[in-house]
Amino acid sequence: MTAQLLTRHTHRERARPALTVLDGMALPLGRAHELCGPARQMLAMLVAGATQGPVFWIAPDWTGEAPNPDGMAALAAPGRFTFIAARRAEDILWTLEEVLRSGVVPLAVADLPDLPGMTAVRRLHLAAETGATEGHGAPLGLLLTPGEGGAPGIESRWHMAQAHAPDAAGWRLSRRRARTRPPQDWRLTGRPGRWRLAPLAPA
């Protein structure tokens, strides 16, 4: 019986719906994922470009920074975004949790000043699962974390950094953690609608 239960559970995990962002980058829905690295905001825009419908972008109000509509327009339509400025760090995660629980927004992004704790991440997963069952679809939560990231308990962790060549823009995309996939590095080149991912040898 135990073996049967484990087998069925594994099958359900593999069958979980996911958003395909790029070849090799699929994010299971109804979960929270971490994006880190110097180009994490651009990576979030790539994810947004792969979705349809509204996007909530939650960030601290004390930084005075927000995505530039002119710069993001080629990746995702600025009119889809609602920008929320939180006055306290704890309000960012609280807002993300409530948005995911509602299940009315397919994508919610939290630009965090620090790494969240395990309890906070678990609450986000539960909120997204609630939104998937009681809302209009399985929402996706993105945690943008500083530095090299390292949030505990997340579904997957992705790192992206600039790797431009003299004749072309490029980025290094890394899958650093995923529940069912091994770490992998790619070189990302191209432009919206014509992105190209080339696997790289481990650094």
Q: Of 5-9, 92-96, 150-154, 175-179, which range is least confident?
A: 5-9
Average predicted confidence (pLDDT) for the chain: 90
Q: In the predicted model, is pLDDT for residue 171 greater than 70?
A: yes
Q: In the predicted model, is pLDDT for residue 177 greater than 90?
A: yes
Q: What superfamily does domain 18-157 belong to in CATH?
A: P-loop containing nucleotide triphosphate hydrolases (3.40.50.300)
Domain ranges of the chain: 18-157
Q: Tens digit of pLDDT for each residue in 73-114?
A: 999 999 999 999 999 989 999 999 999 999 999 999 999 999
Q: Of 19-28, 65-74, 136-145, 186-195, which range is least confident?
A: 65-74
Of the candidates 154, 142, 202, 193, the one whose C-alpha atom is nearest the C-alpha of residue 174 is: 202
Rounded to an integer, what distance in angstroms lies between the CA atom of residue 126 and that of residue 139? 11
47 phi, psi to nearest 5 deg:
-65, -45
Q: In the predicted model, is pLDDT for residue 8 greater than 80?
A: no
Beta carbons of 55 and 76 less than 8 angstroms apart: yes
